[in-house]
């Protein structure tokens, strides 16, 4: 009895000591508790012994809904961009799969397209497999193109970089969940969404007119069900046509995104992305009907999201954006680390994705694969040599050293910082390049290009017009880049301020 009593007493004493030694310190309590009043960037938050007041709860939910709206804006910018392109083109009559927009006189500044170029022939169409079912595309020879889905994700290459290897051929495009017969004799592509972009470029090496004729006489798009008597394919010339394909920064961004979600299969995106959308009221099968409070927050979210994308563009803080990272150079690339999926090491690049989609359109690995003497490569400059914004009222110079390493040609094009589309000036094309008859070399073989409201005397052929009150940025395109561009033994100069 005495032994048992001793054991129990010792046991209780031991655990009393453990409990005493395990007591939470005041510092630990402070770290897991919240005081009665906290000052934050969203204002004063108030609590009764950790319980938020009604006013604080409202403030926190407003902040949460606004943050989620910003995330939706940034994470779904690709989907919204392709949808804006589809809506914009439908507004000028290209409202069906077999209605193809084409730049018969090349792309001009009146048409607002994200960083489109003035050097190649475009043919674009927005495929509607929900309406048409399986689609047949009879592709002409010599095309360079690809298919992207409704979230602007790469699906397949076409033409020179596709299975027809530039010879042309018949493609069969199958909608999500298709379980019917798959006839032989086609290059078959299964698509995960109903809305898709078909992006084509035609080579103009032998002239623009024959390239246009090749597309208009041979490109055919029709439902497989009508293959026996296919309807005609229509072509809409957009050269010089004034209209917009650019994403908005207000509530309409979310309204248009909801309309897209209603059309597409539920598994077009994963649970995490669907959850983000659902958190702000975008749910497949349900109307998107935000109240006045939520509309206000989403309008703010779109503006903050737009501003954030601009911050990511002008001051990126992720690796793999600057082409010459070891020097103080402003030249950047559109795809961080030339990664067209934006994923690496099992993680999505949360800044890399909006960096591309806010400023550009069309995703294919071919855009980021540089082969000596073939394809193309791009360098973007958003800032001058001093890493300051480019001012349209000032005069700048860009020097390209001698022996510009291209197999085909190079071109420098100016863009509007607001629309990220071709800069609108009195010049027909805001581009200067090696194909221009009026361009002049320096005695050592280098080129000096000038950007200013008026051309420096004697430099008219090497000048691109800018304007007071506007900023601008530029893209240097290298068509058929050679090894010295790829290994960086040749590199462009920086954009230097000549006069204030």
Residue 324 pLDDT exceeds 70: yes
Cα–Cα distance for residue pair 144/158, rounded to 1 Å: 6
Domains and CATH numbers, the chain: 51-91+246-314 (1.10.3360.10), 93-240 (2.60.40.1610), 317-497 (2.60.120.600)
How do beta strands 187-190 and 169-174 pair?
parallel
Q: Find out whether 249 and 84 touch, Cβ atoms under 8 Å.
A: no
pLDDT in tens, 181-209: 999 999 999 999 999 999 999 989 889 99
Q: Contact at 8 Å (CB) between 260 and 128?
A: no
If you count them, how many residues does the chain have? 500
Contact (Cβ atoms closer than 8 angstroms) between residue 125 and residue 221: yes
Query: For 26-75, how does the pLDDT look when each residue is reduced to its tens digit (9 = 90+)?
Result: 888 888 999 999 999 999 999 999 999 999 999 999 999 999 999 999 99
DSSP secondary-structure letter at 109?
Answer: T
- Give dist(CA 32, CA 156) in Å, integer: 51
pTM equals: 0.93
> Quick one: average pLDDT of 341-362?
96
The per-residue pLDDT for 499 is 80
pLDDT at 8: 47
């Amino acid at each position: 009895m005495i032994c048992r009593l001793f054991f129990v007493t010792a046991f209780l004493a031991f655990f009393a000591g453990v409990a005493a030694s395990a007591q939470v310190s005041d510092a630990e309590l402070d770290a897991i508790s919240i005081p009665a009043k906290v000052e934050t960037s969203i204002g004063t938050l108030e609590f009764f012994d950790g319980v938020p007041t009604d006013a604080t709860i409202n403030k926190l939910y407003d902040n949460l809904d606004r943050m989620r709206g910003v995330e939706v804006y940034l994470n779904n910018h690709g989907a919204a961009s392709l949808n804006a392109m589809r809506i914009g083109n439908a507004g000028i009559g290209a409202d069906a799969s077999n209605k193809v927009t084409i730049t018969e006189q090349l792309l001009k500044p009146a048409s607002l397209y994200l960083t489109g170029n003035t050097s190649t022939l475009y043919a674009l169409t927005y495929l509607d497999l929900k309406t048409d079912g399986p689609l047949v595309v009879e592709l002409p020879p010599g095309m360079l193109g690809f298919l992207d889905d409704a979230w602007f994700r790469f699906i397949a290459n076409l033409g020179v970089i596709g299975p027809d290897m530039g010879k042309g051929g018949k493609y069969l495009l199958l909608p999500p969940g298709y379980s019917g017969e798959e006839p032989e004799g086609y290059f078959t592509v299964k698509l995960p969404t109903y809305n898709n972009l078909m992006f084509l470029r035609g080579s103009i090496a032998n002239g623009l007119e024959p390239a246009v004729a090749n597309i208009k006489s041979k490109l055919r798009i029709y439902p497989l069900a009508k293959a026996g008597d296919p309807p005609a394919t229509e072509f809409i010339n957009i050269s010089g046509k004034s209209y917009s394909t650019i994403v908005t920064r207000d509530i309409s961004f979310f309204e248009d995104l909801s309309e897209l979600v209603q059309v597409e299969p539920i598994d077009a995106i994963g649970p995490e992305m669907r959850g983000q959308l659902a958190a702000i009221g975008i749910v497949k099968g349900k109307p998107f009907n935000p109240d006045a409070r939520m509309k206000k927050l989403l309008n703010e979210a779109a503006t903050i999201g737009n501003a954030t994308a601009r911050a990511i563009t002008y001051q990126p803080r992720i690796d793999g954006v600057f082409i010459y990272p070891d020097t103080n150079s402003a030249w950047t690339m559109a795809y961080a680390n030339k990664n067209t999926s934006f994923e690496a090491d099992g993680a999505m690049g949360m800044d890399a994705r909006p960096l591309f989609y806010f400023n550009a359109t069309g995703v294919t690995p071919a855009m980021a694969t540089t082969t000596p003497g073939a394809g193309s490569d791009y360098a973007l400059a958003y800032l001058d040599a001093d890493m300051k914004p480019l001012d349209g009222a000032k005069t700048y110079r860009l020097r390209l050293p001698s022996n510009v390493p291209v197999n085909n040609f190079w071109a420098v094009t100016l863009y509007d910082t607001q629309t990220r589309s071709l800069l609108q000036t009195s010049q027909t094309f805001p581009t200067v390049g090696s194909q221009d008859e009026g361009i002049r070399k320096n005695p050592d073989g280098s080129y000096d290009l000038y950007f200013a409201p008026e051309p420096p005397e004697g430099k008219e052929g090497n000048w691109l017009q800018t304007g007071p009150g506007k900023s601008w940025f530029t893209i240097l395109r290298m068509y058929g880049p050679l090894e010295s561009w790829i290994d960086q033994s040749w590199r462009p100069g920086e954009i230097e301020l000549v006069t204030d």
